[in-house]
Amino acid sequence: MDITLSLTNVLYVVIAVFLLLLLQKSQRKQFGQLPPGPAPKPLLGNLLQFDVKEPYKYYLKLSKKYGSVVTIWLGNTPVIIISGFEALKETMIGLGEEFSGRANYPLLMKITHGYGVLSTSGHRWKQMRKFSLMTLKDFGMGRRSIEERVREEAKYLVEMIKKCEGSAFSPADMLSNAVANVICSIVFGHRFEFEDPQFKFLLQTVNTYFTILSSPLGQIYNVFPKLVNLFPGKHHQLFKDTDKAREYCKHKVRARMNNVDPSCPQDFIEAFVLKMKEEKDKSDTEYHFDNLVSLVWNLFSAGTESTSSTIRHALLLMMKHPDVQERVQQEIDEVVGKDRWPSIEDRQKLPYTDAVIHEVQRSMDFAPIAVPHKMMCDTEYNGYVIPKGTMVFPLLSSVLIDPKRWKNPNCFDPENFLNEEGQFMKNDAFVAFGMGKRVCLGEALARTELFLFFTSLLQHFTFKAMVPPEELDTKPAASGFGRIPRRYECYAIPRI
């Protein structure tokens, strides 16, 4: 009896797998003739063919083998990888509208519930993006410019580091605090004390979010979310924490809904609330509570980890290359001196420093596949029709290390951004912020922050590692969705 039962069960499983494979085959067929790529295996697609810890390396290899447009299968989902400057320009810019959708990447969707700017597409995304860009740009709210807000945080940061009095410390949390406080000042209208438990919780949640997003767990979750949800793991706590963080954003928004001065909105939330009031009689308005809450989360999360980890990596590279650090300090001493804080106007007069900051970003390659896109409609490209809804990875790495576009693509070398006269040299292949319609919304803010924080820090301190420079490891701690630089301890020797 038992044997018969188990034989029947085996038969059921065999039939189920067979039907699943048939279904998968017909599902894959419905995508038609996609660009070339490695043959997918049943159920898993190409998942077993690469190291989930460093998927972008596999994508780079494929682009060498198959060309600038490649199809891979993540489980049952086809993904088009676009690589190389020309192909990315033709698609992200030339066919910008068609390639402008945001992929339904489960970890991104889960937290913003389909609202806000980062994980939306079409009309909603356009409205939210236009509003955010305009509000961040002219900052016609409050009395203080973005530059002033960044400088204020740079001063707090320098004071914090001074308190370490030259003893070993880990700069990671201080940098996150400073960068997050700039966003808080813009979005909420105020900064937080470093010890504020709510602020600490928000920062911890953003950090865990990026760590998981870039870990093998995050990669697998994005392919098989339902399955991974059945298993225990760090993602469950993350979801609880992000729900709590979202509740906090809701609470901050609610508190501001009824007391906004229409003549002078003080921050991002107030500017949005005014727009909500203006459009309250429009039935299809996108200016509503859910979009505002997700937008606040988008700005806080996208704006914190990216910029703070770039500065963290910049300091690590200065310790690895003390000659570069010295040259930057010399330039700052000559142009800014020691009696005033650096300002954005100084940037043009600091070509070497500007080149170093760009080179930090180029060599660190923070977002190898940007944030995955999706096709807005069936689109012909390179002789193939890419169907509406297909996920697209713009392989920014392929441009950032293209030997045809950089003097020295494979290591950290500020000469990549300098001409023979030592002047700063722009390069279109600098695509660290993405390309086209989805290019980073916070690019201008990030550039201001990178410049002011970096120059203020090097004006005040010389950074030294705990080991000799040649033993210092500058490889990222994780290279999944993002390439997260490692954390470390160091010394900051006061110069002023």
Least distance to ligand HEM from the beta carbon of 427, Å? 16
Q: Which stretch binds ligand HEM (CB under 6 A): 46-54, 83-91, 274-282, 431-439?
A: 431-439
Least distance to ligand HEM from the beta carbon of 263, Å? 25
Q: What is the DSSP letter of 376?
A: S
Q: Which is nearer to ligand HEM, 47 or 440 (CB)?
A: 440
Q: Output helix, strand, coil percentages for the chain, rounded to the nearest 5.
A: 55, 10, 35
Q: Taking the alpha carbons of 254, 255, 258, 261 in that order, is the dihedral positive or negative?
A: negative
Q: What is the arrangement of strands in the sheet containing 373-374, beginning at the earlier edge strand?
A: 69-74, 77-83, 391-395, 373-374, 101-102
Least distance to ligand HEM from the beta carbon of 391, Å? 12
Least distance to ligand HEM from the beta carbon of 321, Å? 20
Check residue 299 for interaction with ligand HEM (CB under 6 A): yes
Q: Which stretch binds ligand HEM (CB under 6 A): 169-177, 302-310, 329-337, 375-383?
A: 302-310
Q: Applying CB under 6 A, what is the total number of residues that bind ligand HEM?
A: 26
Site for ligand HEM in 345-384 (CB under 6 A): 366-367, 370-371
Site for ligand HEM in 87-146 (CB under 6 A): 102, 117-118, 129
Q: Which stretch binds ligand HEM (CB under 6 A): 36-44, 246-254, 271-279, 435-443?
A: 435-443
Q: Which is nearer to ligand HEM, 256 or 447 (CB)?
A: 447
* Separation CA 103–CA 51 (nearest Å): 22
Least distance to ligand HEM from the beta carbon of 160, Å? 20
Check residue 301 for interaction with ligand HEM (CB under 6 A): no
Q: Which is nearer to ligand HEM, 38 or 354 (CB)?
A: 354
* Separation CA 133–CA 135 (nearest Å): 6
Both structure tokens of 246: 């979202």
Site for ligand HEM in 33-92 (CB under 6 A): none
Q: Which phi and psi angles does 53 have, rounded to 5°?
A: -75, -25
Question: Judged by CB under 6 A, which of 127, 310, 456, 474 binds ligand HEM?
Answer: 310
Least distance to ligand HEM from the beta carbon of 366, Å? 4
> Would you state the torsion angle of the CA atoms of residues 179, 180, 181, 182, taken in this order, to the nearest 10 degrees?
60
* Length reported for the chain: 496
Check residue 446 for interaction with ligand HEM (CB under 6 A): yes
Binding mask 279-298 for ligand HEM (x = CB under 6 A): -------------------x
Least distance to ligand HEM from the beta carbon of 473, Å? 21
Buried b (16+ CB within 10 A) or exposed e, 133-168: eebbeebebbeeebbebbbbbbebbbebbeebeeee
Check residue 480 for interaction with ligand HEM (CB under 6 A): no
Check residue 308 for interaction with ligand HEM (CB under 6 A): no
* Separation CA 146–CA 140 (nearest Å): 11
Q: What is the DSSP string of 285-343?
A: -S-SHHHHHHHHHHHHHHHHHHHHHHHHHHHHHHHH-HHHHHHHHHHHHHHT-SSS---
Q: Which is nearer to ligand HEM, 82 or 319 (CB)?
A: 82
Q: Which is nearer to ligand HEM, 299 or 318 (CB)?
A: 299
Q: Which stretch binds ligand HEM (CB under 6 A): 159-167, 304-312, 324-332, 415-423?
A: 304-312
CB 317 within 8 A of CB 360: yes
Backbone dihedral region of 67: left (phi > 0), alpha (psi from -120 to 50 degrees) or beta? left
Q: What is the DSSP string of 29-98?
A: HTT-SPPP-PPPBTTTBTGGGS-TTSHHHHHHHHHHHH-SEEEEEETTEEEEEEESHHHHIIIIIITTTT
Residue 264 marked in a binding site: no
Backbone dihedral region of 259: left (phi > 0), alpha (psi from -120 to 50 degrees) or beta? beta
Residue nearest to ligand HEM (CB): 442
Check residue 445 for interaction with ligand HEM (CB under 6 A): yes
Site for ligand HEM in 154-183 (CB under 6 A): none
Question: Judged by CB under 6 A, which of 302, 324, 332, 392 binds ligand HEM?
Answer: 302
Least distance to ligand HEM from the beta carbon of 371, Å? 4
Q: Which is nearer to ligand HEM, 129 or 275 (CB)?
A: 129
Least distance to ligand HEM from the beta carbon of 101, Å? 10
Instruction: Kindly give, in sequence order, each residue whose CB lies less than 8 Å from that of residue 230, ignoring residues fewer than 6 positions away.
Output: none
Q: What is the DSSP letter of 437?
A: G
Q: What is the DSSP letter of 157?
A: H
Q: Which is nearer to ligand HEM, 102 or 256 (CB)?
A: 102
Place of tokens 């504020």: 196
SS3 label, residue 195: coil
Feature table: binding site for heme: 440
- The residue ranges that bind ligand HEM (CB under 6 A) are 102, 117-118, 129, 298-299, 302-303, 306-307, 310, 366-367, 370-371, 394, 432-434, 438-442, 445-446
Feature table: binding site: 440
